[in-house]
Amino acid sequence: MSKSVLSVSVCIALLAASAAVSGASAANDKITKSSAISSTNRAYAALVSGRNSAAIQSYSSAIESRQLPAEKLGRSLLNRALAYQNSGKFQDAIDDYTAAMRLDALSPRMRAVALYNRGLAYEKSGKAAMAIEDFTGALMLDPQFAQSYYSRANVLRSHGQYLLAIADYKKARLFNHSKPHLTLFGEALTYDALKQTTRAKALLLKALVAKPDFKAARIKLADMGSPVSAPMLATKTPREPVRVAMLNNGVATDTLITNSISPSRADLTLRKTSLPAPVGVPKTIKAASQTVPLPPVPDITNLIPTKKTVKATKAVKVVVKAPEKTEQKTSGPALSGWTVQLSSQRNSDAAWDVWKSLSARYGTLLRGQEATVVKADLGTRGIFYRLRVHQIDSKKQAARLCNRLKRKGTGCFVSKA
């Protein structure tokens, strides 16, 4: 009898302990998610005030918690990349920009800025080809992105692609670059490299008309045997203030900062391989008239970059059987008709967060569409949750919807339910 009583007591104690642990775990999850949001606010405030190390630390805490929804995670990665970039940690910045763009949570304009900033980081890292590729990608999303034309022109000039560089300098001015004297100066250096001295001098004089205290242009003209006799208005050019996102009632938000490193004595650079002056995106730039179709976001097991990477020492050929793919609807009405897949995430909540974001962004286009989330077991690759619009009557209608989404910068593909 005593043994039975003892056994029951032990069972009750174990159940109570289990419940307590479960409750504590739930509470910890709640605190972790709340702390993650608070960390992004602190990080943004630090970034705005120029405290890059503090911003990196707070953003890392929020990102590594894996509690942020897809859109907020994307913004946090972009802003941490900017903090790394401001600190001269260009490879870390590149990793974060890349991870952010893998998420299907960036608007076409935000993606263009991310590509531009990553291009600057590639250039600082000595990877000119990658930099040109990113500047070009930004221009495909925003054909009037003046800073991207200017930065691409500088890289092309420094690698002897003079005619292409001249065309880009002209387009930067056409789309109202915030510092036209820099585009004129770069074009002048290009013509000087082509031994067309007369054109080079004419452009340097135009640069001085645009900015009379432009010391670099005066020095270059003097070197070319044409000193300017007018007195110099200033020996140093003022630093352009960094444009940052607005703060809501004094409270820091996690909105993307649409500029990269603040310019530092860019006007005084005379090297033939001069680097671009990273400049904030001017408010006068118009919206892009078209966007480049983007591929569907693949099923990615690692969206958050890690600090340590393992270098392969020897290639080993391994034969792996293809995993069996199984799908199971997790929420929403049953699949029917033709479908358009919009995103693939690691959990159901993240997939629905993407739907909320896309519905808000493309309200007219997605109004009346039925969405559902389908669980896909990819074996060794893991489990993914696919966001799909379905109940579309024909393949032609589904393709039309997908093509319109692609033109707006959102990847997708069509399949039969």
The pLDDT, as a whole number, for residue 328 is 58
- pLDDT, average across residues 254-282: 38
- pLDDT, average across residues 82-93: 94
Measure Cα distances from 345 to 329, 354, 355, 406 in Å: 14, 9, 11, 19
pLDDT band at 322 (very low <50, low <70, confident <90, very high): very low
Same domain, 49 and 197: yes
Same domain, 205 and 76: yes
- The whole-angstrom separation of Cα 59 and Cα 62 is 5
In a domain, 302, yes or no: no
- pLDDT, average across residues 93-101: 93
Tokens representing 21 are: 């642990």
In a domain, 259, yes or no: no
The pLDDT, as a whole number, for residue 301 is 31
The pLDDT, as a whole number, for residue 337 is 83
How many CB atoms are closer than 10 A to CB 222? Answer: 11
What is the tens place of the pLDDT at every residue in 381-394?
A: 678 888 888 888 88
What is the tens place of the pLDDT at every residue in 301-311?
A: 333 444 443 34
Same domain, 98 and 205: yes
Count Cβ atoms within 10 A of the Cβ of residue 353 and give its class: 0-12 exposed, 13-18 middle, 19 or more buried. buried
Measure Cα distances from 378 to 134, 195, 298, 331, 382 in Å: 32, 60, 12, 19, 5
In a domain, 50, yes or no: yes
- The whole-angstrom separation of Cα 386 and Cα 82 is 30
Same domain, 99 and 225: yes
For residue 396, what is the domain's CATH number? 3.30.70.1070
Is the predicted pLDDT of residue 132 greater than 90, yes or no? yes
Same domain, 336 and 214: no
The pLDDT, as a whole number, for residue 392 is 87
User: Lowest mean pLDDT: which of 81-95, 168-182, 300-314, 354-368?
Assistant: 300-314
Tokens representing 347 are: 């959990």
> Regarding predicted confidence, which is higher, 177 or 33?
177
Domain termination site, one of 229, 260, 292 = 229
In a domain, 292, yes or no: no
- The whole-angstrom separation of Cα 398 and Cα 414 is 6
Same domain, 221 and 79: yes
- pLDDT, average across residues 62-86: 90
Is the predicted pLDDT of residue 143 greater than 90, yes or no? yes
Residue type, position 205, single letter: L
Q: Which candidate, 187, 188, 237, places its Cα nearest to that of 212?
A: 237
Tokens representing 44 are: 């943004």
In a domain, 3, yes or no: no
Domain termination site, one of 168, 203, 229 = 229
In a domain, 157, yes or no: yes
pTM for the model stands at 0.55
> Regarding predicted confidence, which is higher, 249 or 95?
95
> Regarding predicted confidence, which is higher, 85 or 23?
85
Same domain, 223 and 337: no
Q: Specify whether the CB–CB gap between 105 and 352 falls below 8 A.
A: no
For residue 157, what is the domain's CATH number? 1.25.40.10
- pLDDT, average across residues 248-275: 37
Count of structural domains, the chain = 2
The pLDDT, as a whole number, for residue 163 is 93
Same domain, 148 and 38: yes
Domain that holds residue 378: 326-416
The pLDDT, as a whole number, for residue 319 is 41
Domain termination site, one of 209, 229, 249 = 229
Same domain, 207 and 334: no
The pLDDT, as a whole number, for residue 176 is 93
The pLDDT, as a whole number, for residue 296 is 35
User: Lowest mean pLDDT: which of 82-91, 143-152, 310-319?
Assistant: 310-319
Same domain, 222 and 334: no
Neighbouring-strand partners of residue 89: none
Neighbouring-strand partners of residue 352: none
The pLDDT, as a whole number, for residue 326 is 55
Residues 6+ apart with CB under 8 A from 219: 270
Is the predicted pLDDT of residue 252 greater than 50, yes or no? no
In a domain, 168, yes or no: yes
In a domain, 371, yes or no: yes
Is the predicted pLDDT of residue 401 greater than 80, yes or no? yes
Chain Cα centroid distance, residue 174: 25
The pLDDT, as a whole number, for residue 332 is 56
The pLDDT, as a whole number, for residue 34 is 80
